[in-house]
Amino acid sequence: MVKTALVTGGSKGIGRKTVELLALSGCNVIVNYRSDQEYAESFVKGVETSFDVKALSILGDVSKKEDCERLSASVLQEFGRVDILVHNAGPYIHERKRMGDYSWDDWNHLINGNVTSVFYLTKLLLPSMRENGWGRIITFGFDRVETAPAWVNRSAFAAAKTGLASLTKTLAAEEAASGVTANMVCPGDIIGSWKERSVVDAVGVDSPLVPVGRPGTGEDIARVVAFLASDESSFITGAVIPVTGGQDVLGKHLKEKARGMLH
């Protein structure tokens, strides 16, 4: 039977590349987006044409319970089930701030968008996975998140993702007997257009801060997600998997600062 995958924030960035690889593997795909309807609709039309699968775009802010309820209802009405749930969407504030400098709204935005949203959507779609005896839940974190590390000037994002790592592991333990796995993928420092590019584009491109020597790409992450979404990954659950090229993502700004001081 053809599997159906829902990717939140799936029209752009790493989510877009993930949608493409899941479609390539033969999955029908639902692309959730929060803005730019025309862009999302154009993307899903291209996916249907290129990969000969069914694709659907659905508007919704997954940090809002009402949007998650509407999104879930639409998906279940259209496809009857969701087999693969990829929680890609998650807000991030680029400006570096100490914890005491976050506004109330900033804090709530990051916590709700990165961990509460996963609770909402998983709670709504988990029953169909249990009923079918098969499911894949995939979340996103950051390098070493399972150790609850300090991430200076990233307190809200780090707190949300650290909580999400525990939630992912707990889901894995609770749902193992249901045939549902839950795993977390932790991307390295993949920035700008690299989020939507392929591994072949990065070969030969120098990236001195990354030990493997090249930039990370959206395809690097999407390949891992696609494997975790497959039947072949059934023995992997509760895992937190770094895909960083060996880079110390949390210490990157300190190294850049030191390099700047040296030069």
Looking at the chain, the whole-number percentage of residues with pLDDT higher than 70 is: 96
| Tens-place pLDDT, residues 106-141 | 999 999 999 999 999 999 999 999 999 999 999 999
What pLDDT is stored for residue 255 in this prediction? 60
CA-CA distances (angstroms) from residue 161 to 17, 87, 121, 123, 154? 21, 12, 16, 18, 11
Question: What does pTM read for this prediction?
Answer: 0.94
Q: How many domains does the chain have?
A: 1
Region 174-189: what's the mean pLDDT? 98
| Tens-place pLDDT, residues 7-54 | 999 999 999 999 999 999 999 999 999 999 999 999 999 999 999 999
Nearest to 113 by CA among 170, 167, 161, 166: 161
Domain extent at residue 217: 4-262
Calpha distance 81→183 (Å, rounded): 20
Calpha distance 221→225 (Å, rounded): 6
| Tens-place pLDDT, residues 54-63 | 999 999 999 9
| Tens-place pLDDT, residues 205-231 | 999 999 999 999 999 999 999 999 999
Calpha distance 118→109 (Å, rounded): 14
Using pLDDT thresholds of 50, 70 and 90, give the confidence band for residue 260: low
Q: Residue 36 belongs to a domain with what CATH number?
A: 3.40.50.720
Amino acid at 205: V
